[in-house]
Chain A
């Protein structure tokens, strides 16, 4: 067994004779995003997701519209603040079964059709949403379900991926898991045929919530 000091000492000896290099990352390498909302919509669509715009009042009916296309769906909703208050009532009004996260638990969540969560941030450049494991959210609702619906407030929309990483670096407490979600789960491992929904959700809906 190798102890830490021996391991790192060996590395140090090997690089000792070589000069140390430094790097300055230029500030202008990221693209300029003219109209973040329009770009976000474009990119979400381009990566195979579905974009919706809503207000806190209309968020419920947007979700009802998503459920209407599904066959007898069940829905698990996280108790995150950014999930609009109109959402739960809208779900029960469609007749769909409603469960809450984290009470539903992992095993039950794995059998649910739709997972409704908040996103911490969104990125216009790539159509990305950031999903956090911090309570009252979690990992299973956006991962084990077949359809993932993420609500994100328009004031959490950032221009670029580099902006997102700056915000992550500034987070006061870091959850154990953050995931940049850019489109639904997919594969092309069988003869380059694109198939959605390998392990994660095959459908991703992103709902950008603006002021009423």
Chain B
């Protein structure tokens, strides 16, 4: 097995996770970051009257939105158009990118500033921009760092979680052409100055949508840095791209979800900036975009609707499930699909795309249920992971299926089971009750590559 770079997705989960597992510095960076967020989340919840009760309400709100999704999307279209915005429905990534590129060409866009949006990662918008000769610029500091490094994000909320301050100093110094101090404040200042100029000159701003409010023609965008405000305010054209499930009905529903979103992520009661975007600038307003476009994306989501996986579409992308996941902690975000990582990524990736690598993801879980326990909209993540394994089991490797069949036949009668017991006791007397660290047989030795077998007893249970 060759060593795999963090952004090469050709290998298996195990191969990709090696980058993090074998780099103690990166692993501890991830651990510190997710622990900080987990501690913050605990603290944030204590300021709610009834945290568990509110999760239940939030889950029912999201189920309401999904069970009426057709009506909610129709209403959103009416209200957004009434506010002066334009709507485009995209069935897949190609349609979404095509619309944005056409718009960019019409508007003579050379540069597009972007606020962090996983859905634009999903449709490969940056690549499409570059191929069309348009420069996309990520403006969330973490996302800017990974863009400059030529890597995909490694965490839904904190994309550069795997990078140390020294990595960033190295990277920014290269861009600056001069040695920058190894200091977070100075590095942030450098990024601010560079990006400020871009905000003021870019012709197009691209954002995701945290939640659209159907009955109000309003898009909600949440950021801490203020880059989201910049992207929806400074360029002449604003394009917002949303997965079609990211809609609530009214402001009462929005208030509940917003009360859980930032708390579940960093523990803040609210993020610093919650922007409510309601179409282009009105007559008399001094600044703001002249055009606002909303792209509503399916890209496989409708295949999840109406199935036993529908609850996965409740997700509000808070990142809490990543932060508590023991597998994410060790393997890092780059071991997963380049877009959605952690438990929620392991659920939705195989549902959105049918590749061998995607189907491997549900197996990268201990099924411990920590994700389900923290999810603010109560997605039964570990149940869904198990369903996905079941669905995929009939496609499992023939050799594996055959060995399980042989095994079940072998233990099917008491007599044959006794042979195995005596065999185990024989191994136990040879190994003298010590744990077996390595199996000598080919194929079987893969089991002991990452773990030891428990010690074999010297006597079988019935003889003891």
Task: Select one of A7, A20, A128, A184 contacting B89, CB under 8 A.
Answer: A7
Q: Which of B238-283 contact A (CB under 8 A)?
A: 244, 250-256, 258-259, 266, 268-282
The answer to whether B288 touches A176 (Cβ under 8 A) is yes
By secondary structure, the A interface counts as loop
Interface size, chain A (Cβ < 8 Å):
77
Question: A30–B91 Cα gap in the complex (Å)?
Answer: 39
B182–chain A nearest beta-carbon distance, Å: 10
Q: Does A172 interact with chain B (Cβ within 8 Å)?
A: no
Report whether B250 and A169 are in contact in the complex, using a CB–CB cutoff of 8 Å. yes
Question: What B residues does A201 contact at CB under 8 A?
Answer: 226
Q: Does B446 contact A (CB under 8 A)?
A: no
Whether A198 contacts B192 by the Cβ 8 Å rule is: yes
A82 CB, nearest partner CB in chain B, Å = 17
Closest Cβ of chain B to A98, distance in Å, is: 18
Q: Which of B171-204 contact A (CB under 8 A)?
A: 184-185, 187-188, 191-192, 195-196, 199-200
The size bracket of the interface on B is 35 or more
Contact call B226/A176, Cβ cutoff below 8 A = no
- List the one stretch of A51-59, A62-70, A135-143 in contact with chain B: A135-143
Q: Which residue of A is nearest B283, CB measured?
A: A135
B165 touches A191 (CB 8 A): yes
CB-CB nearest in chain B for A10: B302
Closest B-chain residue to A186, C-beta based? Answer: B224
Q: Is B208 an interface residue (CB 8 A)?
A: no
Does B103 touch A at the CB level, under 8 Å? no
Q: Which of B70, B90, B187, B227 has the most CB of A within 10 A?
A: B70
- Cβ-based interface call for B15 (8 A): no
Q: Mark A166-178, 1 if CB is under 8 A from B, else 0.
A: 1011000011111
Report whether A189 and B229 are in contact in the complex, using a CB–CB cutoff of 8 Å.
no
Contact check, A8 vs B74: say whether CB atoms are below 8 A apart: yes
- Asked if A23 contacts B225 (CB within 8 A), the reply is no
With most chain B CB atoms within 10 A of its CB, the pick from A133, A177, A180 is A177
Measured between beta carbons, the chain B residues less than 8 angstroms from A180 are 270, 273-274, 276
Known: A128-B270, A191-B29. A139 touches B233 (CB 8 A): yes
B interface vs A, CB < 8 Å? 29, 32-33, 36, 47-50, 53-54, 57, 60-61, 63-64, 66-70, 73-74, 77, 83, 87, 89-91, 95, 98, 139-142, 145, 158-160, 163-165, 168, 184-185, 187-188, 191-192, 195-196, 199-200, 216, 218, 224-227, 229-230, 232-234, 244, 250-256, 258-259, 266, 268-282, 284-288, 292, 296, 298, 302-303, 305-306, 310
- Known A26-B53, A189-B159; 5 more pairs at CB < 8 Å: A3-B89, A4-B87, A18-B67, A180-B270, A189-B142
- In the A-B complex, list the 7 residue pairs whose CB atoms are closest, starting with the nearest: A200-B226, A102-B286, A189-B142, A193-B184, A14-B305, A198-B225, A199-B226
